[in-house]
Amino acid sequence: MGKAYELRLYVAGKTSKSVAALENLKKLCEEHLKGKYSIEVIDLLEKPQLAEGDQIFAIPTLVKKVPEPVRKIIGDLSNEEKVLVGLDIRAKIKN
Amino acid sequence: MAKSKKQLEARSTGTIPKTLTGISGLDEITLGGLPSGRPTLVCGEAGSGKTLFSIEFIVKGAMEYGEPGVFMAFEEKAEELKANVASLGFDLEQLEKDKKIRLDYVHIDRSEIEETGEYDLEGLFIRLGYAIDSIGAKRVALDTIENLFAGLNNTAVLRAEIRRLFQFLKSKGVTAVITGERGGSGLTRQGLEEYVSDCVILLDHRIINQISTRRLRVVKYRGSVHGTNEYPFLIDDEGISVLPVTSLQLNHEVSTKSLSSGIASLDKMLGNSGFYKGSSILVSGTAGTGKTSIAATFANAACLRGEKCLFFAFEESPKQIIRNMRSIGIDLQKHLKEGSLEFYASRPTLYGLEMHLVAIHKAIKKSKPSVVVLDPITNLITIGSVSDVKTMLVRLIDFLQAEQITVMFTALTLNNIVNEQTDEGVSSLVDAWLLIRDIESNGERNRGLYIMKSRGMKHSNQIREFVITDKGLDLVDVYLTEDGVLTGSAREARMLMEQTGEVIHAQAVSRKDRELERKRKILESKIESLRSEYESAEEELNKVYVEEALKKQIMGETISKIAGLRRGDNGGEEKNVNKNK
């Protein structure tokens, strides 16, 4: 897995969920994707026009643009296992 | 600004502010449209027309009322939607370019989404808010938010968020239409939207006897009265048309003007004037009694007067009617060409009764005729029960009377109970009822026509024989004899017989006259001979008298002469002597 991860986190203001999501994401990336990721945080309160492009409806939403396929993870990213599966870092494990 | 002004206006009339939908008929049922600045739920099963309802609300708002609108689709992609409504003549592309509407397709794909922990739908709100603000939208349609439940797992969050969404829409001051799939025991699957909406409209698509009927019902409307019935509606190439049933009052304008039926002798039976304008006429009779002919004659008369006539044919095709009517000397083709006559032919089974009614309504609104013919209404019974047909006709007659349109129905009567019922059912609604009866006798069938009723007219109580000739229709007096009523050839025969009788009679009379004349002559000649006999007798008598008188005279003279001779001596005697010598 030499490819870089392009991650976008959509938030709406500094809500507790947004803050938690960003913290969880940073921690997780440092652990599993050290050195090969970039995180872009988009605040929809400031740029509402960007919501349509990535089909955002829930907040917070993490969008993995690269590598393909595009995946979305919504929520505060508190379940590490699910996030890793969602980002295709770890294959889905039964149970 | 415009909105607040409108609200003020509405408040002054005492009701909550409403927004016209532009969907024909709906605004009448809701007495002015949907509640302004509040969310309305439109729910129904799949294929009941929810999406069309919502898009029409948005498009009509943008095109007719100058209110921009946002359409947020959860089901169809913008391109699909554009293609789907293009058939209705809605050019979404152009409207979008003109910033009158905004389409936003929210794509929710479960396979792309992973849920971890807490979240909310703020993203959707922001997106919607942005769309609303970008074009200054007054109207919003969400079709169908339930898709969120299909894409996301956390229903507790979703339920809370949908509640918040309604609040959000209210705070934005937009008039919103939210569609919801019907399911379970409630109006919507989640059983939530109907409680948070200010107005709930239920769309229904029912199949009864294999015929589908779409219906619409306003389930709730906070702060306003509304029609509570189920109203049939139609989806056609012009979108949705809802038919509000009847106006609640019976206060139509009435006319004392009358229209000719096209049959002079029938007009005479109807108090010499024909039917009243704006009245409804029922022509009923058994098969083949000429109901369509009467209807066509009526239509023809209207066209000849220069009025517009709309002919609803439920049995024959227009061409068939035109051909058949030509055989009795009525040229409908001419009127058709001139545009004074219009046909609207459809199979009764094409769709449900209600739909027929809506379609008839639409056709009438479109061509604005002064005379309408429905031939025949009986065929409608094949698609509905008797009471259904009756309610439909009540509505139709109501509508037509309000529009001052004269209508003629034809109805087939068979000798079975169902149809007699219709007759009776309908008859109380109509103003005039002509009945054509078969009169069977002497091995032939003839038609007898009489007027069952004609409101407000001194109509004839006679049964007349109704004849169809190649020059048109006519009514003849039936022949009353000691043997009863004679019609058809029996009547002709009787008339012939009586004519012969008259000739014979006349001849007999003249013979008697001549005999009398002869007798008179004989008598006269007898009188003449008697008179001459009398004259001769009289003459004879006279002769006797004269002779007698002469005798007397001569005798007298002789006696006096003798006496003179005796008394006169010489002179006298000598003379006598000389005489004697």
Which of B26, B21, B85 has the alpha carbon at shortest distance from B217?
B26
Which pLDDT score, from 0 to 100, does residue A1 have? 45
Q: Which amino acid makes up residue B341?
A: L
* Omega of the bond leading into B481 within 30 degrees of 0 (cis): no
Which pLDDT score, from 0 to 100, does residue B422 have? 53
8 Å CB contact of B117 and A75: yes
> Smallest Cβ distance to B126: which of A48, A69, A85?
A48
For residue B366, give the 3-state DSSP assignment. helix
> Residues near B392 by Cβ (< 8 Å), separated by ≥ 6?
B353, B354, B356, B357, B380, B384
Per-residue pLDDT of chain B (581 residues), as tens digits, is: 444 444 434 444 557 888 888 887 888 888 888 899 999 999 888 888 888 899 899 998 998 898 999 999 988 888 888 888 888 888 888 888 888 889 888 888 887 788 888 888 888 888 889 899 989 989 999 988 888 888 888 888 888 888 888 899 999 899 999 998 887 677 777 777 788 888 999 998 888 777 777 888 888 888 888 877 888 888 877 788 887 655 545 566 777 788 888 888 888 888 877 888 888 888 888 878 888 889 999 999 999 988 999 999 888 889 999 998 888 888 889 998 988 898 888 887 777 777 788 788 888 888 889 999 988 887 777 666 777 777 778 878 888 888 888 999 888 776 544 445 555 566 777 888 888 888 777 778 888 888 888 888 888 887 888 888 888 888 887 777 776 677 777 778 888 888 898 888 888 889 999 999 999 999 999 999 999 999 999 999 999 999 999 999 999 999 988 888 887 655 544 444 444 54
Beta strand segments in B222-334, E: 230-236, 239-242, 258-259, 275-276, 280-285, 309-313
Which pLDDT score, from 0 to 100, does residue B14 have? 56
Q: Chain A closest CA to B105's CA: distance in Å?
A: 8
Give the integer Cα–Cα distance in Å for B3 and A51: 28
Residue A84 or B482, more confident = A84
Best of A43, A46, A57, A72 to disrupt the B interface by mutation (most B CBs within 10 Å)? A57
Domain ranges of chain A: 5-86
Give helix B50-64 / helix B78-86 axis angle, nearest 10°: 80
Which pLDDT score, from 0 to 100, does residue B152 have? 83
Return the number of other C-beta atoms located less than 10 Å from residue B72's C-beta. Answer: 23
Which pLDDT score, from 0 to 100, does residue B551 have? 93
> Smallest Cβ distance to A82: which of B114, B126, B152?
B114
Task: State the count of interchain CB pairs (< 8 A) between A and B.
Answer: 101
User: Which residues of chain B lie closer than 8 angstroms to A49, CB-CB?
Assistant: 130
The H-or-E segment that residue A14 falls in is none
8 Å CB contact of A59 and B114: no
Report ipTM for this prediction.
Answer: 0.88
Q: Chain A closest CA to B176's CA: distance in Å?
A: 19
> Smallest Cβ distance to B104: which of A52, A59, A71?
A52
B contact set with A (CB within 8 A): 104, 106-108, 112-124, 126-127, 129-131, 148, 152
Which pLDDT score, from 0 to 100, does residue B519 have? 94
**Helix segments in B120-202, DSSP class H:** 122-135, 147-151, 155-172, 193-196
Q: Give the chain A residue whose CA is nearest to the CA of B124.
A: A57
Q: Hey, what are B487's tokens?
A: 């019609």
Q: Give the chain B residue whose CA is nearest to the CA of A83.
A: B116
Best of B106, B119, B146, B164 to disrupt the A interface by mutation (most A CBs within 10 Å)? B119
8 Å CB contact of B123 and A10: yes
8 Å CB contact of A78 and B118: yes
Give helix B122-135 / helix B155-172 axis angle, nearest 10°: 20
pLDDT digits (tens, 9 = 90+) for A30-68: 888 877 888 889 888 888 888 888 888 888 888 888 777
Superfamily of domain A5-86: Glutaredoxin (3.40.30.10)
Give the integer Cα–Cα distance in Å for B13 and B441: 69
List the beta bridge partners of residue A8. A40, A63
> Residues near B503 by Cβ (< 8 Å), separated by ≥ 6?
none
- CA trace torsion B320, B321, B324, B327 (10° rounding): -140
8 Å CB contact of B116 and A48: no
Q: Give the chain A residue whose CA is nearest to the CA of B112.
A: A71
Give the integer Cα–Cα distance in Å for B402 and B83: 39
> Smallest Cβ distance to A75: which of B116, B122, B148?
B116
8 Å CB contact of A78 and B117: yes
> Residues near B158 by Cβ (< 8 Å), separated by ≥ 6?
B121, B148, B149, B152
User: Which residues of chain B lie closer than 8 angstroms to A77, CB-CB?
Assistant: 116-117
Which pLDDT score, from 0 to 100, does residue A94 have? 45
